[in-house]
Structure 1
Amino acid sequence: MNTGCNYSSTANKYGCSYGQVYAWVRKYKDKGIEGLYDRRGKNKAISQLSDIEKLKAENRLLKAQTQQQQMEIDFLKNSTK
């Protein structure tokens, strides 16, 4: 099938693999420019979280706050000695 795209020469030009160029072209054809944005590490909006995900996030926050408070208590104990 001739798509008019030379994936090999494009991969050589930009120093990446044939498969990566093919994936980029496929994402662009499927979703347009939006498909090419790197979304790794992006968090969901709170409105998109399930109830369990919200509870897990709240639990992580409370654990972090407890750890912070304990560190402050330990620091104050050591600074008064």
Structure 2
Amino acid sequence: MLKKAKQLASQEFSRLSGREIKAEDCFVVWFSKTLQNWKALVSTNAITSSEPCGNYAEITHNGDKKETYVDVYAKVSNRAIKD
């Protein structure tokens, strides 16, 4: 599952950036599995946050339909909020 998530993310990052992003250039930030369904959040440092193609992928597997969905996002903001 983790290998598939990184592979699918790298394919989508490559398609959107116009250059090869290898699966080994990707890392899983978060993963969860419930019954036959799973979700992984995958990122890469091979794409900078200033590039328009995005560097953060959400991979969702629907085990009932045997389908996997890939959504790609770009970081828009990162700020610290004091408690």
TM bucket (normalised to shorter chain) is under 0.3
TM-score (norm 1): 0.21
**Highest CA radius of gyration, 1 or 2?**
1
Structure having the larger proportion of residues in strand: 2
Structure having the larger proportion of residues in helix: 1
TM-score (norm 2): 0.21
Higher relative contact order (CA 8 A, sep 6+): 2
